[in-house]
Amino acid sequence: MAKSKPSAGRPARPSRRKPKTRPASGLSRERIAAAAMALVDREGLAALSTRRLGNELGCEAMSIYHHFPGKTHLMDALVDLMLKAAEVPITGEQGWLERLRRAAHGFRAMALKHPKFFPFFATHRLNTPAGVAFIDGIIGILRDAGFSDRDAATYFREIGYYLTGAALDETAGYARGPSAAEPVSGEMIAANFPHLAAAAPYFQPQHFQATFETGLEILLDGIWQAHRSRHRAP
């Protein structure tokens, strides 16, 4: 049976197509990333979603996608934002060893500034623009010192092992990790494990800075000794 045609005088049905969303005024990649990092700093990574971020910015979640195609792109931007706080002294009056030292302290300061984001950062490949620049800068310091490409890569990774492990331990590591169902009491430790009992006070946060510096200097001294042996006059 043929369908009846609409009469000429019948008003046309309104279109059901949803209007296209437009970027909210005042939004930018920088503003969105800064708001996302502030949210993570305050409430943790689990709280970050485009809906929640939209509420923080006073816009629809879809507006964020005009600047970041997906959440993974936003996470990359947070990695780059974090690395801005870990500037590598590429050039300067300081020698190469002091530049490495300053870069290491900068990395730790970056992690402590954003402790709730650092566990994600620690396992993210630094293949973003800022990440690649950071890696190139550290390797460049080692190459300026006269190390070969192979040695520069080796020492870069060794420095990375130490910095990542130290920062993870301070931001989300041992003291904040899961505990045994029935942990050994302090009284039992004091009575049966005298070495641990004597060392325990120095595991406290007030000693983290000194512990970090001690380990860093041991590492840098090893690199310095390797440099001396490779460049010793025959």
Tens of pLDDT, residue by residue over 107-151, are 999 999 999 999 999 999 999 999 999 999 999 999 999 999 999
| Residue 147, C-beta contacts closer than 8 angstroms, at least 6 positions apart | 155, 227, 230
Q: Is the pLDDT of residue 19 over 50?
A: no
- The C-alpha atoms of residue 148 and residue 138 are separated, in whole angstroms, by 14
Exposure of 109 in the CB half-sphere (CA atoms within 13 A)? 11
pLDDT cut 70: percent of the chain above it: 85
Exposure of 54 in the CB half-sphere (CA atoms within 13 A)? 16
Q: What is the pTM of this model?
A: 0.82
Question: Are the C-beta atoms of 212 and 108 separated by less than 8 Å?
Answer: yes
Question: Are the C-beta atoms of 100 and 159 separated by less than 8 Å?
Answer: yes
List helix spans (H) across the chain: 29-43, 50-57, 61-64, 71-83, 96-113, 118-122, 129-144, 149-172, 186-192, 194-199, 208-230
Q: Is the pLDDT of residue 13 over 80?
A: no
Q: Which of 11, 5, 64, 1 is nearest to 36 (CA)?
A: 64
- The C-alpha atoms of residue 104 and residue 61 are separated, in whole angstroms, by 37
Looking at residue 23, its pLDDT comes to: 47
